[in-house]
Structure 1
Amino acid sequence: MPLQYSFRIQTQSLVFITLVLHMIIIISTLPNATARTGKNETDHLALLAFKSKIIHDPQGVMSSWNRSLLFCDWEGVACGSRHRRVISIHLRSRGLVGSLSPYIGNLSFLRVLELFNNTLQGEIPPQVGHLFRLQTLHLTRNNFGGEIPANLSHCSNLVHLVVSYNHLVGNLPKELGSLSKLKRLIIQRNHLSGGIPQFIGRLTSIEIVSTAQNLFTGSLPNALGQLKNLKGLGFGGNQLSGTIHPSIYNLSFLANLSLAGNQLTGTLSPSLGLMLPNLQLLQLWGNKFTGPIPLSISNCTALVSLDIGSNNFSGKLGINFGGLQNIREIYPSENNLGSGEPYEMNFIDSMANCSNLGTLDLAVNQFRGLLPNSMGNLSNRLFYLTLHQNFINGKLPSAIGNLVNLNYLSLSTNRFKGTIPSTIGNLQKLQRAYLHGNTFYGEIPDSVGNLSLLNELSLGDNRLVGNIPSSLGNCKTLLLLDLSQNNLNGTIPKQLFRISAFSISLDVSRNGLSGSLPAEVGNLKNLMELDISENELSGEIPTSLESCISLENLYMEGNSLN
């Protein structure tokens, strides 16, 4: 063969090979070229079936789910780089309305199904159980109903099962006990019922269990003590009864323990804080626990929230709070705490180091004795302080004025006496102050006029004397003022009737007030209740009262009004 022919043939072969390779590249880049062949077509059809069940798509997510793009490029869809199969669907908070297609079970490479915060309804398709590679199923905040499919147990790689805030019913399927890799079981805010099953003890990898706000009954299973990796246990808001099984105290990694809002009984282990040293949240309110609050809680140095209110705890509150420097909330209210000792409130001394404390609720107990001056050493972050319905006596320390970030102060229904310290005027962020039902005497300090953000002030049922300070007129945001059942005299300051914000109540009844009812009362167009009864008021009832168009209750008896 002549050399030129051989060269030409070789050249033509190279050209042909080049053209073939070029065609392969072109074909491989055509839209859906791979999506329409083999198992990738299965994923493509499954996604189209998913789309067909979405009846409302306010953000237009599904507009990209069309044939002009490879399905791996559709919004919210991700594929693996090797097989180009769907491995995750992330459609969080997209406003989608519809249901979940059973063809979702054909996405056999799916690892993550994230549909949090949409409006999907109907049942969770049992075909989800075909997804043996699935690691995360997150369907929280939808409207799914029916039962949790038992064959989710086939998803042997499942790590996160999160289906809270739906309308699921029935028992927890016992088959879920085979999910050995499960770390998070979060099913709160549904309508699930039955008992907390013993099989939960087989979930040896579990770190967080939350069944809160359901209809579970029965006792806490002792099998919980087998979950050595458990960090969060939330069973609040159910109908559980019985005692806390001793095995739960063996969960030394536990950070969050919430059993609130049940019917649990018995006492807490004195060693609670020693056995659960990593606690950050201890939430036991709304049960029937009795006995003392364990002193060992002072060992929980990471504690952020201590919420043990609405129980029957009793005895001295002897916790040393000095080491709880992370604590933000202390709620031992509505118990029978109190020892009767004259200085039993001195546990407040140890709170001086709690620099993050924002809420201290000691209300509705049996506390007695004096309120220590160390009250003024509490955190400058404290915004909520309640001591009402106790038997605390003595003077209100003037150091209360150091708590400059207080927003809410309730000292009512105690046995406080002495004058109201003028330092209360330092609390310029105060919005609600309740000091009624004590034996405070002396005059109302003029400094209350500094409380420009005040919405409600209740000083009724004390022994206060003197005039109503005109400086109260500076409290332009007052909605409620109760000065009833005192020994106040003089006239009602006209400045009070210039507070147009008054809408709930203005009550100055059962005092010794004199003079007339000012015509400025007509400014209170939004006021619902006015009580000036049982005073020594005289003169004509002003016709401007007709301007108080929101007035529902008007009490003027026991005066000398014309």
Structure 2
Amino acid sequence: MSSMRCHLLYLQIIFVLAVSILLQFIILLPPTAATWSGNETDYMALLAFKSKIVHDPEGVMDSWNDSVHFCNWQGVTCGRRHRQVTILDLHESRLAGFISPYIGNLSFLRVLWLTNNTFQGEIPPQVGNLFRLQVLGLYNNSLTGEIPANLSHCFNLRYFGIGTNMLVGKLPTELSSLSKLIRLRVGKNNFSGEIPSFIGNFTSLEVISAAFNAFTGNIPEALGQLQNLTSLILGANKLSGKIPSSIYNLSSLTLLSLPKNQLSGSIPSELGSMFPQLQHLALDANHFRGPLPVSLPNFSNIELLGLSHNHFSGKISIDFRLLPRLNFLNLVKNNLGTGEPDEMGFIPSLVNCTNLQVLAVAFNQLKGTLPKSIGNLSATISVLDLSINHIYGEIPSEISHLVGLDVLDLSENEFKGRIPYSIGNLQNLQELFLCSNWLEGDVPNTIGKLSSLTHFYLEENRLQGKVPVTLGNCQRLLLLNLSFNNLIGAIPRELFGISTLSISLNLAWNHFSGPL
């Protein structure tokens, strides 16, 4: 009997010791193992995601191990109550690989932010299982294939960003269920077909960015229903027809960008009154015609005005004094000009644009002399392109006041007289085009002060005298063209001391003498 009692006591002691050891083992377990209860699905989904990463140069995935709870893994955020993944943010992590279909098991996910990486392959249809998803950011990767129709189940999406990938096909009609969208970014892919009119039903939409695709057909009239729209970006597609009249009702627009399409028709004269908030207007490279809208000065907030490569005609009669924020004006390659001698009268009104950085009116029919007020333009101006017009008279010496210029292009006009000696003040100048004019006299020695000059075109003028040896100071020159002038004397040895002069050195059709 006593032996039986001893045996029972022995068993009790063994049981207590076993329980004690087990408890110690549990306490010593990593926190993740102790708190996975109910979250195994998220844990396994994250491990499956990690398994598809083939390149991780920054070691982002190193923290994805059992030494810490998965809610503390880099890029992972969990809810406070349910301890399930709500945010997966791995943007700009230089990750390469594929998006695991098990991502669809993160049922509480609200934000999937994988932008600026190198994810490949298709967007898994299982992403459509994430009905709580509000933000889908996949832009700037290498994703291929079509948009899964299943994404229509993510009806809580506010942000849909899949731009800058290699996606193809049409925008699925099933996406019409994404009625809560605020931002739609699908630019820089290979999407085709028409822009679906159902987008006009997304009444909360503020941004449509669909540039650099192969969309065809007309701009949908239904887009005019989006009264909250601030940005409409449809450039570099194959859109045709006129801008729908409904678009002119979008008074909240701050950015209207439709360049590089096949749009046609004229622009309403009252355009400036239709978009009182507009900051950027880009209609370049289309087939628009007619005069520039007289109401453009009503764009008091305008910063960028791009109307180049169209068929606009008539006089530039815009009073730019009313556009103080203008920093970019591009009217290149139109039919602007009427032959009136005061056609350069718009220049003085630009003096009030103190932020102006680019003024380009090349490839037009502008006549007249260049006013001395050109020197009063903004100190910030970096590009001045007046080439391929019919501007005559002398180059005003006041142009040397524009000390911020990087590019000065006065080529293919009818300028005569001397090149201003003060041009040496433009010491930031990198490209100087004075070719195909009637300039005479010598090449100023002060050119040697332009130490940043890389391209210098003086061909097809009536220049005389010797080539200044100071050109040898332009030690960044890549191209120098002095051909078709009346230059004389020896070719300066200093020219051949410019080690960067690697694209072209053209001295033909002059009257040089002496040894080479």
CA displacement, residues 245-288 of structure 1 (integer Å, 9 cap, x when unaligned) = 11101111101111111111111111111101111111111111
- Give SS of 1:401's match: helix
Counterparts of 2:102 and 2:78, CA distance in 1: 17
Counterparts of 1:507 and 1:141, CA distance in 2: 43
Which TM-score applies when normalising by structure 1? 0.85
Aligned counterparts, 1:335-414, within 5 A: 335-414=334-413
- Tell me which moved more, 327-336 or 450-459: 450-459
Counterparts of 2:417 and 2:333, CA distance in 1: 26
Does the Cα contact within 8 Å between 2:30 and 2:68 map onto a contact in 1?
no
CA displacement, residues 423-444 of structure 1 (integer Å, 9 cap, x when unaligned) = 1111111111110100011222
- In structure 2, the partner of 1:555 is none
- In structure 2, the partner of 1:416 is 415
Shift of 1:516: 2.4
- In structure 1, the partner of 2:72 is 73
- In structure 2, the partner of 1:214 is 213
Does the Cα contact within 8 Å between 1:27 and 1:33 map onto a contact in 2?
no
- In structure 2, the partner of 1:132 is 131
Instruction: Indicate whether 1:36 and 2:24 are aligned.
Output: no
Counterparts of 2:340 and 2:169, CA distance in 1: 51
- Give SS of 1:172's match: coil
- In structure 2, the partner of 1:196 is 195
Counterparts of 2:229 and 2:340, CA distance in 1: 40
Letter in 2 for 1:86: V
Instruction: Indicate whether 1:288 and 2:287 are aligned.
Output: yes
- In structure 1, the partner of 2:4 is none
Counterparts of 1:413 and 1:138, CA distance in 2: 48
Shift of 1:180: 2.0
Does the Cα contact within 8 Å between 2:454 and 2:478 map onto a contact in 1?
yes
Aligned counterparts, 1:400-479, within 5 A: 400-479=399-478
Counterparts of 1:310 and 1:380, CA distance in 2: 27
Instruction: Indicate whether 1:205 and 2:204 are aligned.
Output: yes
- In structure 1, the partner of 2:115 is 116
Counterparts of 2:156 and 2:134, CA distance in 1: 5
Letter in 2 for 1:339: T
Letter in 2 for 1:32: T
- In structure 1, the partner of 2:13 is none
Shift of 1:33: 4.3
- In structure 1, the partner of 2:310 is 311
- In structure 2, the partner of 1:90 is 89
Letter in 1 for 2:195: I
CA displacement, residues 431-473 of structure 1 (integer Å, 9 cap, x when unaligned) = 1111010001122222212212211211111111222222222
Shift of 1:513: 2.2
Shift of 1:141: 1.3
- Give SS of 2:487's match: strand
- In structure 1, the partner of 2:180 is 181
Instruction: Indicate whether 1:52 and 2:17 are aligned.
Output: no
Letter in 1 for 2:284: W
Letter in 1 for 2:286: N
CA displacement, residues 281-310 of structure 1 (integer Å, 9 cap, x when unaligned) = 111111111111112121112211111111
Counterparts of 2:495 and 2:52, CA distance in 1: 62
- Tell me which moved more, 279-288 or 317-326: 317-326
- In structure 1, the partner of 2:171 is 172
Does the Cα contact within 8 Å between 2:437 and 2:460 map onto a contact in 1?
yes
- In structure 2, the partner of 1:521 is none
Counterparts of 2:474 and 2:55, CA distance in 1: 50
Letter in 2 for 1:291: G
Letter in 2 for 1:53: K
Letter in 2 for 1:463: R
Counterparts of 1:83 and 1:140, CA distance in 2: 30
- In structure 1, the partner of 2:17 is none
Q: For residues 86 and 29 of structure 1, do their structure 2 counterparts lie closer, same or farther at Cα, with a shift above 3 Å needed?
A: farther
Does the Cα contact within 8 Å between 1:466 and 1:488 map onto a contact in 2?
yes
- In structure 1, the partner of 2:250 is 251
Does the Cα contact within 8 Å between 1:461 and 1:485 map onto a contact in 2?
yes
- Tell me which moved more, 467-476 or 435-444: 467-476
Counterparts of 1:34 and 1:284, CA distance in 2: 61
Letter in 1 for 2:393: G
Letter in 1 for 2:202: L
Counterparts of 2:500 and 2:212, CA distance in 1: 39
Shift of 1:30: 5.2
Letter in 1 for 2:116: N
Shift of 1:496: 2.4
- Tell me which moved more, 125-134 or 496-505: 496-505
- In structure 2, the partner of 1:532 is none
Counterparts of 2:496 and 2:71, CA distance in 1: 69
- Tell me which moved more, 283-292 or 49-58: 49-58
Query: Which stretches in structure 1 are left out of the alignment for 5+ residues?
Result: 1-19, 518-562
Shift of 1:78: 0.4
- In structure 2, the partner of 1:511 is 510
- Give SS of 2:31's match: coil
Does the Cα contact within 8 Å between 1:35 and 1:41 map onto a contact in 2?
no
Shift of 1:512: 2.2
Does the Cα contact within 8 Å between 1:452 and 1:477 map onto a contact in 2?
yes
Does the Cα contact within 8 Å between 2:33 and 2:66 map onto a contact in 1?
no
Shift of 1:507: 2.0
- Give SS of 1:98's match: strand
Q: For residues 296 and 27 of structure 1, do their structure 2 counterparts lie closer, same or farther at Cα, with a shift above 3 Å needed?
A: farther
Counterparts of 1:244 and 1:117, CA distance in 2: 33
Counterparts of 1:81 and 1:290, CA distance in 2: 60
- Give SS of 1:176's match: helix
Does the Cα contact within 8 Å between 2:30 and 2:67 map onto a contact in 1?
no
Counterparts of 2:369 and 2:381, CA distance in 1: 20
- Give SS of 2:345's match: helix
CA displacement, residues 227-254 of structure 1 (integer Å, 9 cap, x when unaligned) = 0000111111110000001110111110
Counterparts of 1:466 and 1:449, CA distance in 2: 16
Query: Which stretches in structure 2 are left out of the alignment for 5+ residues?
Result: 1-19
- Tell me which moved more, 154-163 or 440-449: 440-449
Letter in 2 for 1:93: E
Does the Cα contact within 8 Å between 1:186 and 1:209 map onto a contact in 2?
yes
Counterparts of 1:443 and 1:155, CA distance in 2: 71
Counterparts of 1:399 and 1:263, CA distance in 2: 41
- Give SS of 1:165's match: coil
Instruction: Indicate whether 1:494 and 2:493 are aligned.
Output: yes
Shift of 1:95: 2.0
- Give SS of 1:360's match: strand
CA displacement, residues 299-348 of structure 1 (integer Å, 9 cap, x when unaligned) = 11221111111111111111111122222111110111112110111101
- Give SS of 1:342's match: coil
- Give SS of 1:120's match: strand
Shift of 1:34: 5.5
Does the Cα contact within 8 Å between 1:220 and 1:240 map onto a contact in 2?
yes
- Tell me which moved more, 300-309 or 464-473: 464-473
Counterparts of 2:329 and 2:35, CA distance in 1: 58
- In structure 1, the partner of 2:10 is none
Shift of 1:506: 2.2
Counterparts of 2:158 and 2:281, CA distance in 1: 26
Counterparts of 1:504 and 1:62, CA distance in 2: 47
